[in-house]
Amino acid sequence: MNALVTVDHLRVEFATDSGPVVGVEDVSFAINPGETVCVVGESGSGKSVTSLSLMRLVEFGGGTIAGGTLTFVRPDGSVLDVAGASPAVMQDVRGNEIGMIFQEPMTSLNPVFTIERQLTDGLMLHRGLSKDAARARALEMLRQVRIPEPERRLKQYPHELSGGMRQRVVIAMAMACEPRLLIADEPTTALDVTIQAEILALINRLKREKGMAVLFITHDMAVVAQMADRVVVMYHGKIVETGTVEDIFENPKEEYTRALLAAVPKLGEMKGKAAPEKMRLIGDEAARAAVAASAPMQRRSEVLLEVKHLTTRFPVKGGILRRTVAQVHAVEDVSFTLNVGETLALVGESGCGKSSCGRSILRLIEPTSGEVWIGGRDIGALNRQDLRRARRDMQMVFQDPFASLNPYRRLKDQVAEPIQNFGLARGQELRDRVAEIFDRVRLPREFMSRFPHELSGGQRQRAAIARALAVNPKLIVADEAVSALDVSVQAQVLNLMMELQADLGLSYLFISHDMAVVERVAHHVGVMYLGRIVEIGPRPSVLDNPRHPYTQQLLSAVPIADPRKRKFKDDLSFKPITSPIFPLGHVAAPSTYTEVGPGHLVLNG
Amino acid sequence: MKRFLSPKGLVGIILVTLIALVGILAPLLIPPEAATAMDMTARLAPPSANHLLGTDQLGRDILIRVLLGSRLSLEIAVTAVMISIVIGLPLGMVSGYFGGRIDNVLMRLVDTLLAFPALLLALTISAVLGPNLQNTIIAIGVAFTPYLARIVRGEALRVAQMPYVEAARAAGTTDLFILSRHVLPNILPAIIVQATISLAFAILAEAGLSFLGLGTQPPAASWGLMIQASRDYLERAPWTALAPGAAVALTVLGLNMFGDVLRDILDPRSK
């Protein structure tokens, strides 16, 4: 079979103040018609640069194709030299013969144009269609991507659509001219897992129906396993390994691929294991030894955190007088307990209230009602002074290690800050203590005088954990603490967190959307939906035997890093999440639960 | 340290140093009466060997007046801008960081002041306090405060929503410490930019007040006053405006470039 796209010894350079920097080097692969090739790699591996080069869009980011050839077979059978083509030819190819889907559906649609305008512009330009014909085609495209009520959508603006619907529009735009190649650059990374499943299934169906080739860029090995025919693994701008998806997953040849695969948690692999287990790491001997040496974590059945009927509502302002016209029921009658030395994971999709729940417990946002007891003290009843003192026991680790550290302060000052806040140490003692904490999170001591931007993402998150640990808290609320990290780094940080738990008896409230990670780290799991916990209980019980329909839906949407367990063949359509906004005076029914197993509760109704 | 020594930064540093040197040294080296020495035979004379930058309507040497006027102009501008920072910075930071009712009250106050043209405001304040140099400086400083407070507030509002501020709060950090260690360094770049722009306007505002008899009084020389006085002779003797105008422009340019350098030095990410 003749390849549709060939990339041969591609080299892309970026001009910087200190001379050219190589973005990718010696990259060669081919894509056949009707085939999905996944380019997978961690951040900075050059996977996006590769895909942008194929569109020659890399030039708009300051890059130049410095070497190698890129060819693309046009519909008339002629072979286009992409690297040497004129801008006019490329303009004709882009969006017409090669379609592209970007990561962020919020920003890849222009907010001031209607959906119709976004869809028809390309059709009128590339296909020379009249306005009416373009509208008819746009409507047909919306139907193809299975958007409900397509006629109404044409008149709407992007902000009126949900994230999943927006990404469907983006796909419709990319597909409108029936491209021979679809480039999807992390198309589901910003989406919830059920929407991700829908979008992946949609791409699979369109590929099958149209015989289109897909170049799929992702960092997520589970998505690769679900989507790819062939896989290109990239690292530091070079290709590490290429092969069929089965070969890569079952018989990886390179050390890097093996390490990458080992670091990926697979949902379901913890079946039959009672306690959390550390991640496997290959190539990191110290960590491996630590995994082997660590005894099963001891648990004491002593309650640390007790949350009773916690409710948090945000006002929705409206009208000329900016009066409160409705309320967002962000957290609605949530109750649970967390024992000393244990991890409770709160899982759910965006907007389900899991982050608000964590922040309400720490009173970073004020809950509307309910009680939060930590170590025999009602946090909700404390005044400002006492609350500040109580923060010693409860610390937080945030999602984005780039944003949660102040770029203008040295790390040692940021880690020392909580200690100084409570006047626990000063002078040499303070310095020693900070140095110890750096050792504890395995950051080299010479990092103490550095600024956050001098560290990698994983190192920054270690620094953020160091800051949280500085005052020996009892509870750490980890809000998506590893979501922004690459898988291998994520595994290291998770292992560190589990070690700290075993050594220091920490309790974690682990807020996450990633079911596979949760399965590994949590003792207990609470599933949140529309502000309520719909199901909560011991991890084996909840994940292996989900009883609430929402938990079942969530689990069925999680991609599994095994190419032999493909889930997303046919169209999927999950029940969309309804709005948590209720009019003023709405009386929410209390949460009542049925016990379906020991400690396993399911929301009634 | 790369950008510190960029050509632009270097020019900024040299300019600011030169201007500061002139401001300090000129009054020490040039006798004050030189500024008022009149040469009635050469009124409004174009630049020549005798008068390098020409003379004004009273036959005074413009070069000498520009050099001697530098101290007064810079003194007024720098002090006035410092006053506006001293008042506007805490005001804006508190407003933006705490928000809510404090923000509403403070910003309505600022909006009220903003409704008046800065010069009119300075004029009123100056007239109330009494016309002397010190009061002029205070008046200009106060008149510029609302602009600075607005900008600081906007920046503080942005920084207050950054995760590192929430992280600090979660770590039990007091508001005062968050404001001084987290918010302030992160809004500094915006303040530097605004301060350099304000400096230029302050030099000109002083001229306006002087014209109305509330600022520097003739025959003392200040750049603003010289520009003001040149108005009537612009067609016949454009050099009377050109020299002090260029002095203001060079100062602002230098400060602007210097401000960029300062911002880069303060930003650990640029090293």
Q: Where are the domains of chain B?
A: 3-31+54-270
The C-alpha of B9 sits at a distance from chain A's nearest C-alpha, in angstroms, of 16
Secondary structure of residue A185 in the 3-state scheme:
strand
Residue A335 CB partners (closer than 8 Å, separation 6+):
A307, A308, A309, A310, A533, A591
Q: Which of A392, A396, A408 sits opposite B167 (nearest CB)?
A: A396
The per-residue pLDDT for B94 is 95
CA distance A206 to A210: 6
Q: According to the model, what pLDDT value does residue B1 have?
A: 43
> Does B6 contact A at CB distance below 8 Å?
no
Q: Cα–Cα distance between B208 and B210 in angstroms, integer?
A: 5
pLDDT band at A475 (very low <50, low <70, confident <90, very high): very high
Could you please report the per-residue DSSP string of A494-548?
A: HHHHHHHHHHH--EEEEEES-HHHHHHH-SEEEEEETTEEEEEEEHHHHHHS--S
Q: Is the pLDDT of residue A125 over 90?
A: no
Question: Which residue from A525, A495, A493 is spatially nearest to A509, judged by alpha carbons?
Answer: A525
Asked whether the predicted pLDDT for residue A329 surpasses 60, the reply is yes
Q: What percent of chain B has pLDDT over 70?
A: 97
Q: Which whole number is the average pLDDT over A286-291? A: 52
Average pLDDT estimate for A59-66: 84
Measured CA angle at A259 (ends A258, A265), to 5 deg: 100
Which residues make beta-bridge pairs with A20? Answer: A15
Residue B158's CB: how many other CB atoms inside 10 A? 14
The winner for highest mean pLDDT among A93-102, A407-416, B1-10 is A407-416
Task: Give the pLDDT confidence score for residue A37 in this predicted structure.
Answer: 94
Both tokens of A575, joined, read: 């029940």
**pLDDT confidence bin for B176, thresholds 50/70/90:** very high
The amino acid at B68: L
Q: How far is A468 from chain B (nearest CA, A)?
A: 7
Tell me what pLDDT residue A286 has: 52
Close Cβ partners of A112 (under 8 Å, ≥ 6 residues apart): A157
* pLDDT at site A297: 52
Picking from B1, B101, B159, B164 by the largest number of A CB atoms within 10 A of its own CB, the best residue to mutate is B164
pLDDT (average), residues B225-248: 84
Q: What pTM value is reported for the model?
A: 0.83
Report residue A382 as tokens.
């404390």
Taking CB atoms and an 8 Å limit, are A417 and B171 in contact across chains? yes
SS3 of residue A73 by DSSP: strand
CB atoms B171 and A418 under 8 Å: yes
- Span A334-393, pLDDT tens digits: 999 999 999 999 999 888 889 999 999 999 999 999 999 998 889 988 998 899 989 999
- Decide: A263 and A72 in contact? Cβ < 8 Å: no
CA distance B14 to chain A (A): 23
Contact B172 A391 (CB under 8 A): yes
Residue A414, pLDDT > 90, answer: yes
pLDDT at A1: 55
Q: Are A467 and B167 within 8 A, CB to CB?
A: yes
DSSP bridge partners of A431: none
Strand ranges in A368-495 using DSSP code E only, listed in sequence order: 369-374, 377-378, 394-397, 475-479
Q: Is the pLDDT of residue A284 over 60?
A: no
Residues in chain A with CB shorter than 8 Å from the CB of B181 are: 406, 409, 413, 417
Planar angle of CA A320, A326, A327, nearest 5 degrees: 130
Residue B2, pLDDT above cutoff 50: no
pLDDT at B271: 59
Chain segment A308-324, per-residue pLDDT in tens = 999 999 988 877 777 88
What value does the mean pLDDT of chain B take?
85
Residue A263 has pLDDT above 60, yes or no: yes
* CATH top class, domain A5-105+181-263: alpha beta
Question: What is the torsion angle, in degrees rounded to the nearest 10, for the CA atoms of residue B245, residue B249, residue B255 and residue B261?
Answer: -160
Q: Tokens 């600081």 identify what position?
A: B152
In angstroms, the CA A216 to CA A100 distance is 10
Which residues in chain B have their CB less than 8 angstroms from residue A464's CB? 167
Q: Work out the minimum CA distance from B58 to partner chain A, whole angstroms.
A: 54
CA nearest to A413, candidates A459, A467, A468: A467
Q: Are B164 and A364 inside 8 Å of each other by CB?
A: no
Of residues B172, B181, B266, nearest to A418 (C-beta): B172
Chain A residues with CB-CB distance to B173 below 8 A: 417-418, 421
Mean pLDDT of chain A: 88
Cis peptide before A276 (omega within 30 of 0): no
Looking at the partner chain, which of A18, A391, A404 has a beta carbon nearest the beta carbon of B164? A404
Give me the CATH code for the B3-31+54-270 domain, please: 1.10.3720.10
DSSP 8-state secondary structure symbol assigned to residue B126: H
* Chain A partners within 8 Å of B185 (Cβ): 406, 408-409
The whole-number average pLDDT for the span A403-425 is: 92
Confidence (pLDDT) at A298:
54
**Structural domain boundaries of chain A?**
5-105+181-263
- In percent, the amount of chain B with pLDDT more than 90 equals 31
Mean pLDDT throughout A565-587?
78
Does the pLDDT of residue A299 top 70, yes or no?
Answer: no
Q: What is the pLDDT of residue A245?
A: 93
A285 or B143: whose pLDDT is higher?
B143
Contact B2 A17 (CB under 8 A): yes
Average pLDDT for A510-518: 92
Most B CBs within 10 Å, among A387, A398, A408, to test the B interface: A408
A89 against A162, higher pLDDT: A89
Tell me what pLDDT residue A291 has.
Answer: 52
Euclidean distance between CA atoms A163 and A160, whole angstroms: 10
Among candidates B166, B170, B268 on the partner chain, residue whose Cβ is nearest the Cβ of A408: B268
Report the percentage of chain A scoring pLDDT > 90: 44
A296: tokens are 């099963």
- Does residue B102 register a pLDDT over 70? yes
Q: Please report which confidence band the pLDDT of residue A282 belongs to, taking 50, 70 and 90 as the band edges.
A: low
Question: What is residue A593's predicted lDDT score, i.e. its pLDDT?
Answer: 93
Nearest Cα of chain B lies from the Cα of A35 at a distance, in angstroms, of: 42
The shortest C-alpha distance from B174 to chain A (Å) reads: 7
Contact assignment for A418 to B166 by CB distance below 8 Å: no
